[in-house]
Chain A
Amino acid sequence: MGQVIVMTDSIEQAAARSVAAGGSATTGVALPGPGPAGGRRPRRMSKRMKLLILNAVSIIGGIAIWWVLAESGLQLPTPPEVLQKSIQMWNAGILQEDVAASLARVLSGFLLGTAVAIPVGFLMGWYTTARGLFEPWIQFFRTIPPLALLPLVLVLMGIGELPKVFVIFLAAFLACVISTYQGVVSVDRTLINAARVLGAKDGTIFARVIVPASTPFILVGMRVGLGSAWATLVAAELLAAQAGLGFRMQQAQIYYDLATIFVNIVIIGILGLAMDRLLLFAETKLTAWQERR
């Protein structure tokens, strides 16, 4: 019983996060003020501009502070050095190779994880039998960070791509399966009844009510899953890989090559952000029907 409550909790947090993110993304459109629209428009624009300017100031300021710290004797590479390094790595083809290797791992693990998680989550929500069979294992494995399984997985699966993809798969699967399940069980009973009285049988109710109604939950699960897949990837590469962003940083650490480490950190951040924005975009498109406050 306690387990279930813990589970619900984390999903709610995830959902709240998603709502907050979605809310902020649509604020500009969702706030038609009273009175003539023309009168409000300039003020709204200026607010948006203000935010953009502040963002830019913050970024430039941050880089400036970094630069000052680097120049003032802290053992950091300066921004131009990092930029130069990244160009150098690009020209040598290392950067592309690492990005490709890391993306291939994270995407295959993530896509496999979600592809398995969604049907399993639906089964758990729909059939008590499936829930009874799957739940103990899911509850057990979600308390273990997927990385903690890496030593075992490395022994069992060797040092190829398989163990890394597997732990990423596990990370994405666990995040997504729970939220899919939660989505299915929280579908409004009245909607199911409404479909039934209009003549829908179980199959139709599943396809036309359960699936669309749980889409927001699934997408939140996918975003959480992607975040945890990405985190797991980099850590897995730090431990065991021959290419990839994490591997490159690990190598650079041995040679005390701080610029390379910086390049990789920045790339990891940018790629993670880009993937998250992509999913957020899909989410706002697919769940535009939701009433948001």
Chain B
Amino acid sequence: MNDTVNPAKISVRGIRKTFELKDTEFVALERVDLDIADNEFVTVVGPSGCGKSTLMNILAGLEEPTAGEALVDGRSVHGPGPERGVIFQQYALFPWLTVRKNVEFGLKLAGLAKAERRERAEYFIRMVGLEQFADALPKMLSGGMKQRCAIARAYAVNPSILLMDEPFGALDALTRVKLQEQLLDTWSSEKRTVMFITHDVDEAVFLGNRVIVMAARPGRIYDVIDVNLPYPRAEDVRLSPEFTELRNRVWHSVYHQEAGAVAGSASS
């Protein structure tokens, strides 16, 4: 990741975000700097209240930072854009639309003709293995299927960046492991820059090239840990000693945080 030759896909520059809480000011993010390279898979992990969702909302263009700026492809982010797909923890499928119509939603807004919409939607529905449920309403789907539909919907508009906010957080452990592996499969065949937020240390290590550990009060980047495990990753990776070691490092970084320390400027 050589910043001078190949500018980062996503750049976060000195972002600060505060919220008014009655009379006091709550600092959700403080001095956050981050570069994510093209096609990198970055996971963000941290205790609740560390501002990881706020950071994602700023990148998604759903919130404006109080200070600093977020850059995507060198351009400042103001509002959502088609190059950034977002996947929410609560699935956020439109309950009155079928799986197919949900996946076609963004394509219709992009002005694609009906036949082309059909074809693209069909492709991504098949990619997530929901072809048998293409005409089912979301209420008929399990949590894992709903999230797969949301992933297909985000992929369909062909974003170069995927922002995922604890997408598997509401799923049972078994489904989560399955979806993690499917997500990596999809990512290897359809390369995207991914920022994946989670509170699950195992998930962060298993998925990411790099794990960003955040700390709370104020929300900030606490540590950055490179994960040098080769892709494709499957069960054997989870059981490897290297994985365990990295997992322990991240765990320690998340659960034994020194007050006030910031990555880079932390005194050691």
Contact = CB atoms under 8 A, between A and B. Distances in A.
Interface residues of A, number: 21
A198 B139 contact: no
Interface stretch (A59-67, A189-197, A236-244): A189-197
A72 interface: no
A209 interface: yes
Q: Do most interface residues of chain B lie in helix, strand or loop, or is the interface mixed?
A: loop
Contacts of A136: none
Given A197-B62, A200-B109, A291-B139, 4 more contacts: A193-B86, A195-B105, A197-B84, A197-B85
A2 interface: no
Contacts of B84: 197
Contact of A212 (B86, B96, B138, B157): B96
Interface string A181-209: 00000001011011111111000100011
Contact of A198 (B95, B109, B138): B109
B110 A199 contact: yes
Q: Do most interface residues of chain A lie in helix, strand or loop, or is the interface mixed?
A: helix
Contacts of A196: 62, 80
B143 to A, nearest CB: 12
Interface of B: 60-62, 80, 82, 84-86, 88, 90, 92-97, 105-106, 109-110, 137-139, 153, 157
B96 A198 contact: no
Given A289-B95, A289-B96, A291-B95, A198 B157 contact: yes
20 contacts: A190-B92, A193-B62, A194-B88, A194-B92, A195-B105, A196-B62, A197-B60, A197-B61, A197-B62, A197-B80, A198-B106, A199-B110, A199-B157, A208-B94, A212-B94, A289-B95, A289-B138, A289-B139, A290-B95, A291-B95
Contacts of B86: 193-194, 197
B184 to A, nearest CB: 23
B25 to A, nearest CB: 23
Interface in A22-76: none
A291 B93 CA distance: 13
A291 B90 CA distance: 15
Contacts of A195: 94, 105
A289 B90 CA distance: 17
A289 B137 contact: yes
Nearest to A199: B109
A198 B105 contact: yes
Interchain residue pairs A-B with the least CB separation, the first 5: A198-B106, A194-B92, A197-B86, A289-B96, A199-B109
Contact of A209 (B90, B94, B106, B137): B94
Contacts of B93: 194
A215 B97 CA distance: 14
